Structure 1
Amino acid sequence: MHTAAPEPTDAAPKTLHFGVFEVTAPQVGGTYSWPHPRSSSIDFLDPQHWIRIARVLEDTGFDFLFFADGYGYPMIDGDVDPVAVEKGINFSGVDPAFVIPILAQHTDTLGFVVTQSTGLDHPAQMARRFSTLDHLTGGRIGWNIVTGASQNAVADLFGHTEMVAHDTRYAMAAEYVELACRFWEQAWDDDARVADRESGLYARRDGIHRIVYDGEHYRSRGYFGAPPSPQRTPVLFQAGTSPAGRAFAANHAECVFVQATTPARTGAAVADIRRLAAEAGRDPQALKLMAGLTVFVADTEEQARAYEAEFDAMQTDEIVASLYAGNTGIDLLALDPDRTLHQVLDAGGPIGQMGTSNIDRFLGDDAPTVREILDQLRGRGTRGFRIVGDAAQVADQIESLIADTDLDGFLIEPVFPPSDLEDFGRLVMPILRERGRLRDSEAGSTLRARITERPGNDRLGAGHPVLVRDRVAP
């Protein structure tokens, strides 16, 4: 029997939520691990690789499998970074949305979250795709809302003459989400689709409504053809810790992926997002805030630390710099290693349009040197917190992070998938369940019901801020 970690108060322990952060690409997190014998992530083109992972997650109690996605890639001096190509650092990948229907056929309760940028197509196109996925999964789909990544590469790929300014992307995203939610929530009455064979009536005309939207960036005056799905609106996820990102999350997201730097900084970001949500008239505790977590766990602490050491030995400065350039547009290896990132500002560099959260964290009065940034990010990339140990040690550290940050859970960022996911599910999840950290039973059949822990809570809700804007005609 495992020894329960002491609770800080007599209150019931917070129920935690767990997802897995993945990509349909060689490896996760901008780090280098696919050649390791424990990893089969290089098999990302094989559906059986994903079926194995999905079954592990469902069997051990995870809430969802989260797919990051994007069209960008690391660039150096206006061209693709050779290191990114040679090592598979955020380069090469396929569309994860097409994998999800396959996995839905092999699972019953596991949710699926997929990333879709708000700036590359019209909300009507995206809304129909997610309605389709929600139908095919039986209401188990979530949308990770991003305003873009690797914007320099995306601008080149799509033939744009310049990158869209950071804050403008968030203004566009607000309209994009609002219009998409109008399609999902207001285009069809609940009883509009009849599908009656005897009468031959498919749908009631008076139950189908034209969506009229007149925004600065997006407009529509039409009918949404996709019938309402079990959730109608997918669960709204959002990742972004910049000031604009926090404000967007507070007004739009149901689940927020918070950048994990230090417990103190992450806790401050969590508190700020909850404060902003309250100011927007939302219940701040209703938002589920999660962070990335890399876990090295084994039957013994010694073996876990051996796995960590093997992973760390594979990382180099070149890998760190490739990932950072793809996220921020800044080539760390081209800078003076003994000076801070302020040297880029002083030279009028690209700071402000890409990866602002990953830049701002290294500015300020206590800014580290470029050499220190390289050392700090080696083996971390875009990963969040890192914990190492045997099962009980890892469970203790998870609970400690929750106490220090007020997070609601974590997205496990695998290093050697699916081996380390199987280890986490086999070793750590049972301890967390013993300690009352995981729900005792299924909260419902949809992803929203599971995330909110409220059976039957399948819909976004008419009071959500995206449905009360004034850019829509009555």
Structure 2
Amino acid sequence: MSQEPVRPLHFAAFVMNTTSHIVQGTWRRPSSRSADFNDLDHWVNLAKTLERGKFDAIFFADVVGLYAPYRGDERKYFEAGLQVPSNDPSVLASAIAYATEHLGIAFTASILQEHPFNFARRISTLDHATKGRIAWNIVTNYLPNASRNFGLEGLTAHDARYAWADEYVDVTYKLWEGSWDDDALLQDRERGVHADYDKVHRINHVGERYQVEGPHLVSPSPQRTPFLFQAGASEAGRNFAAQNAEAVFLGTPNREAALRDTSDIRRRAVALGRRADDLKFFQGLYVVPTSTEAEAARVAAELDEWIDHDGHLAHMSGSIGIDFGHDDLDTPVGEIKTEGVQSMIGWINDLVTGRPATLRDVAHHTATNLRIIGTPEKIADELAAWQQSGVDGINLMNYEIPTSYEDFVDQVIPTLQKRGLIQSEYSDGTLRQKIFGEGDRLPDRHHATRYRGAFGAGAGKAGDEAFAGAAN
């Protein structure tokens, strides 16, 4: 593989408004403040640390339901603090923005949980309040309990969820990109005209799930459409990312898989008329810096003592909907007959040699496979290698808050800055401008921009009247 010129990686802190997010059990460590997630200062102080380290964004994961049962019920999730309680991350955005100047604020919101008209209004309000630093991680929903929480009988079929997502984002794009002309808001004190009525348009969306008249109630925010994250890995998810995403969150198990997946999604984006570099890929990793390589083994062993292997198996079980909780952790994975775990058996057997791989091995490698422990120089080498595999950024996970990020900022960032692997200063502008350097708004190549000017004079006004007539 040819060596590319050194360029800065982008960094986001991958967090969740809960106690135990990705690495299960380590919230119990005496140094951890992860259980303080209800405290606003907890998040504001973390945001200040991230901005001191020149992170691009804080990235909040979210769920709106419980994971599938483990050992027949959800007891383990509550006892482990495993993403329950789980608070709404978007509520934190204004406070974080007020305490920082440059840090982007990305939060996950499912198409399931809110009507697109109200969601678009909330996003635009936040984008105004943050001066253009809001990002939306677009997700569908894979949890049956979440579906039932919002009145559905069960989980919507996979590809149907993406068809739903297509319409959902279509409504929001029409509101964000097409409802207000750029010069519609006048605020002319002398003439007493606040907005030009002829430059504000209804969108008259009529689809399979939604009917939205409009207009958007919020004037154009700095980005109009928020910076767009997405994390789908399926065929439908990759197509959705190729069309909609500006940044794609990866959880690939190794660099070879990262190169394969980034190349594939970029190819799909180009086929849709976008450029390959219109997408940035963020790999999920967590790092633990040490002063020497000899110390790394000791630190790894100490961390491993805190890992809740049963919690990791519960997390995986709940995510894929296969309850492994009735099997002993030392059960060889080859003895598990469920067809759905055959791929898992393959990759775990590749990692464990000299003996049969067990469910405990599955849990351990789930907790540690994306972990880098070592000196700042070793960490920099590893991150540079991920970059050579098609990755543009790191979604930095944690084993505890705030220590994981404080150690990274204080011990690793200086080395990364010396090597040009992270920005040393923020550029001006919105989050989109900071990431791409091509302006605050979506480029014309993005399909959302087809709604710019689509609802004005002529066909747009005729559509307004038709909608009004149909409603009477």
TM-score (norm. length: structure 2): 0.88
Question: What does 1:218-367 correspond to in 2, within 5 Å?
Answer: 218-334=210-326, 337-338=331-332, 343-345=337-339, 362=344
Deviations 1:250-279 (A, max 9, x none): 110000001221221222111111111111
The residue identity in structure 1 corresponding to 2:423 is R
Distance change >3 Å, CA 423–CA 221, structure 1 → 2: same
Is 1:376 matched up with 2:369? no
The residue identity in structure 1 corresponding to 2:54 is G
Distance change >3 Å, CA 387–CA 166, structure 1 → 2: same
**1:138 alignment partner in structure 2:** 131
Is 1:427 matched up with 2:411? yes
Is 1:464 matched up with 2:446? yes
Deviations 1:38-59 (A, max 9, x none): 2111111111111111111101
Q: Is the 8 A contact 2:23 2:399 kept in 1?
A: no
Deviations 1:100-141 (A, max 9, x none): 111111110011000010123221111011111111111001
- Structure 1 gaps of 5+ residues are 1-6, 346-350, 352-358
* Per-residue deviation, 1:307: 3.5
Q: Percent of counterpart pairs with the same letter?
A: 35
Deviations 1:300-323 (A, max 9, x none): 334444443232212244212210
The residue identity in structure 2 corresponding to 1:396 is D
Structure number with higher helix proportion: 2
**1:354 alignment partner in structure 2:** none
The residue identity in structure 1 corresponding to 2:404 is D
* Per-residue deviation, 1:32: 1.8
Q: Which 10-residue stretch deviates more, 437-446 or 245-254?
A: 437-446
Question: What does 1:434-449 correspond to in 2, within 5 Å?
Answer: 434-449=418-433
Which one of the candidate residues 197, 200, 207 is aligned to 2:192?
A: 200
CA distance in 2, matches of 1:174, 1:384: 33
The residue identity in structure 1 corresponding to 2:444 is A
What is the RMSD computed on CA atoms of the aligned residues? 2.7
Aligned positions, number? 449
CA distance in 2, matches of 1:374, 1:182: 49
Q: Is the 8 A contact 2:333 2:345 kept in 1?
A: no
The residue identity in structure 2 corresponding to 1:192 is A
Q: Is the 8 A contact 1:320 1:374 kept in 2?
A: no
Pair member with larger Rg:
2
CA distance in 1, matches of 2:168, 2:336: 34
**1:129 alignment partner in structure 2:** 122
**1:173 alignment partner in structure 2:** 165
Distance change >3 Å, CA 194–CA 288, structure 1 → 2: same
**1:52 alignment partner in structure 2:** 45
CA distance in 2, matches of 1:80, 1:453: 49
Q: Is the 8 A contact 2:58 2:105 kept in 1?
A: yes
Question: What does 1:177-196 correspond to in 2, within 5 Å?
Answer: 177-196=169-188
CA distance in 2, matches of 1:159, 1:116: 17
**2:383 alignment partner in structure 1:** 398
The residue identity in structure 2 corresponding to 1:210 is R
Which one of the candidate residues 51, 71, 84 is aligned to 2:64?
A: 71
CA distance in 2, matches of 1:462, 1:400: 32
CA distance in 2, matches of 1:114, 1:81: 25
SS at match of 2:433: helix
CA distance in 2, matches of 1:244, 1:373: 30
- Structure 2 gaps of 5+ residues are 461-472
Question: What does 1:25-104 correspond to in 2, within 5 Å?
Answer: 25-29=18-22, 31-76=24-69, 80-104=73-97
SS at match of 2:63: coil
Q: Is the 8 A contact 2:24 2:307 kept in 1?
A: yes
Distance change >3 Å, CA 361–CA 234, structure 1 → 2: farther
CA distance in 2, matches of 1:241, 1:222: 33
CA distance in 2, matches of 1:135, 1:231: 9
CA distance in 1, matches of 2:178, 2:346: 46
The residue identity in structure 2 corresponding to 1:343 is K
SS at match of 1:282: coil
CA distance in 2, matches of 1:384, 1:20: 18
SS at match of 2:99: coil
Deviations 1:170-192 (A, max 9, x none): 11111111210110111101111
**1:4 alignment partner in structure 2:** none
SS at match of 1:195: strand
